[in-house]
Amino acid sequence: MKLKRKNVGAGILMVLFTVLFFVLTSKFFLVASSQSAEGVDLIEYGQRKWMKSDVLDAKRGTMFDRNGEVVAQDIPSYSVIAILDKNYPNHIKDPEDAAGKLAKVIDTDKEKLVELLSKEGRFQVEIPSGRKVSYRKKEQIEDLKIPGIDFLRESRRYYPNQTFASHVIGYTGNGEKGVQAGLMGLEKSLNKYLQEKDGKITFLGDAFSRAIPANKESVEKPKHGQDVYLTIDEKIQLYLDEAMQEAAKEYEPEKITGIVADPKTGRILAMSNYPAFNPNQKDIKNYTNFAVSYPFEPGSTMKIFTLAAAIEEGKYNGNEQFQSGSYKLPNIGRPIYDHNRKGWGTITYNEGVQNSSNVAFSKLVREKLGYEKFRSYISKFGLDQKTNIDLPNEKNGSILYNYEIEKVTTAFGQGSTITPIQQIQAATAIANGGKMMQPYVIDKIMNPETKKVVQDNEPKVKGKPISEATSKQVRDILETVVTEGTGKPYMIDGYSVAGKTGTAQIPGKDGKYISGWGENVFSFIGMAPKDDPKLLVYVAVERPKVEFPEMGSTPTANIFTSVMKNSLQYLNIQPEAKEKQSKSKAKKTYGKELDNYTGQSAKEAKSELEKLGMQVSVIGSGDEVIKQEPYEGAYVIKGERVILRTSGDAKMPDLTNWSYMDILRLSKLLGLKETITGSGFAVKQNVKAGNPVKEGDYLVVQLEAPKETEPVSEENSEEAEQNGEGTEQNSEEETIVTD
């Protein structure tokens, strides 16, 4: 009986185990066939649990200047993370201690950091103030040896020259889905070329994302952005930036625009605006690229094209005389006035151009050239249409040409509006034998891996509004504007300059022109050397703070002469023979031709140069000068730095407040390999003052724009008397005049 009960129990257990076996087997086959359990997709779950992936960083395209110098690039950066999971071998063990150390390096609130590092249930957290830190900052944090601190490698956009051509280059920021994208300037308009696409590596990994051995990886390669080569020349751009910063520091204008172009090709070598900004910091006060997006009444620079049209049509006789001062139009109550309301008496048309006579140009267009013919030349010079420069947001001006008074005033630059880049394009015809060249800033776009050029720009002739003979005659006349007329402040010793001044008035909110000393746009467009122009420079300064009798054109002249002179010397354009230079007695501040001081006593040479008003730096332990910068025969202005190299060992001078040009001269003199970042004046140097240097050493200098404003200097009244421009204000009953 007892055995029978045991057999029954064993049978029940066998049946039970058999049932369980079939249930489990059925469940196994059901899961295997459906690949899911409890509504969970097991394949997806397994992949999510064990399949790991890492991002393979792609690099946004780099921007270069025309000589291959980097002006915008991606550089490595690091975001600080803290591992909080106590199951992970390397995690935060003491939040209080870790927060105290970190707070000193990344400048954050310690208490908030302690709270963040003490969070429960998180594997890791990102330190908010530790995003995209530099490699140097990463090293400082690593030196703290804090358990649980790690870094995510990223990249950030970096602009090594800071405010360098900032409105042209633009900047980047977070676009869609947090991906870096261009938000302004070429960074935005060329985003489809510059944009990168990250790659991905996928692998089987453990709970700590460590790859399992013998695992086959799946790799999706990153796609790097394409590189952009600009026509901008780094050195010429820095000359322009530096000169504009100096003018802004001293005269506090509302706006400054500067453009440097190669008139033979239309390539833009430099383009700047003030206020500028640092794209690394995005301290933007002005988003407008005035050079292409700000049409305004040009003033008397417009007279260049009126003159050219009259000459081309055979309607200009420079020796013919007319009565200056005012010009009364039939059926119009208000006369046209010269800026010198009393005029200069009966003068020739050539003298009218030199003195920027509005009467001369009114008579030219009304009595000789004719309104319809002049209007056709406005179109031929492209002044009524966009240039189609390869920069975003180009605007077109407005040619007012309905009534007779508008037709007359347009001839001397009032009423109608034009952008600076339109004037540059038109002026290339004057400088380039009649051929008008389209301006452009993008030289080529290249795939950095294959080196295949995907876009290649070439010089483009937009038209030929005038003949070569006319262009030469216009340049000859415009040279006399500089040597004998309103353009005297724009003279550069050693180089012949052809150009035209402009003093345009600014409409106020009430529709009337703003009046007051310095309440104008003071501009100049000039080319040099006159007979074969290599550079074309346009500068406009709006409402500088000047006090009578200092001329409003002074900051414009300072910028132009500095940029043109330095750029010509940088391009190795040799000064012209002295006999070709003007004998004008006009007041000049442009210095002298530098003597040869080699072989002389350094002490005596330094004393002589300082008496001439030069800054002198002597490098070397010897007594005799063996080299000098600038070279013998170079033209130097008062206050410019001259560097004398003597025999003996050289020691690095203190470069604080040295200009970009000064540092280049020092590098050339000592044979150093220089790297200069930023713009403005030197604030940091890698080689300490007093340390020995030798040929081939590396010199790294950081420049910064000056921040303090100095009082405006005053010139004597002689310049105002000589130039005679812009000194009269207009009453409401009279036609507004420009110089």
Could you tell me if 260 and 563 are in contact, meaning their C-beta atoms sit under 8 angstroms apart? yes
* Distance separating alpha carbons of residues 444 and 719, to the nearest angstrom: 46
Residue 110: its H or E element: helix 110-117
Centre a 10 Å sphere on the Cβ of residue 31 and count the other Cβ atoms it contains: 13
Structure tokens at 419: 């952008």
User: Which of 69, 55, 458 shows the shortest CA–CA distance to 235?
Assistant: 69
* Distance separating alpha carbons of residues 197 and 59, to the nearest angstrom: 8
Phi, psi of 591 (to 5 degrees): 80, -145
Helix, strand and coil in the chain, % to nearest 5: 30, 25, 45
Could you tell me if 184 and 171 are in contact, meaning their C-beta atoms sit under 8 angstroms apart? yes
Angle CA 86–92–96, to nearest 5: 130
Q: Single out the catalytic residue among 77, 272, 293, 300.
A: 300
Helices (H), 412-531: 420-431, 468-484
3-state SS string for 23-60: HHHHHHHHHHHHCEECCEEHHHHHHHHHEEEEEECCCC
Question: Is 300 tagged catalytic?
Answer: yes
Q: How many helices (H) and strands (E) does the chain have?
A: 21, 35
Which are the contacts of 79, defined by CB distance < 8 A and separation ≥ 6?
A: 126, 127, 130, 131, 132, 133, 151, 152, 154
* Distance separating alpha carbons of residues 703 and 660, to the nearest angstrom: 8
Phi, psi of 112 (to 5 degrees): -65, -35
Task: Read off the amino acid at residue 177.
Answer: K
* Distance separating alpha carbons of residues 540 and 284, to the nearest angstrom: 21
By annotation, the residues acting in catalysis are 300
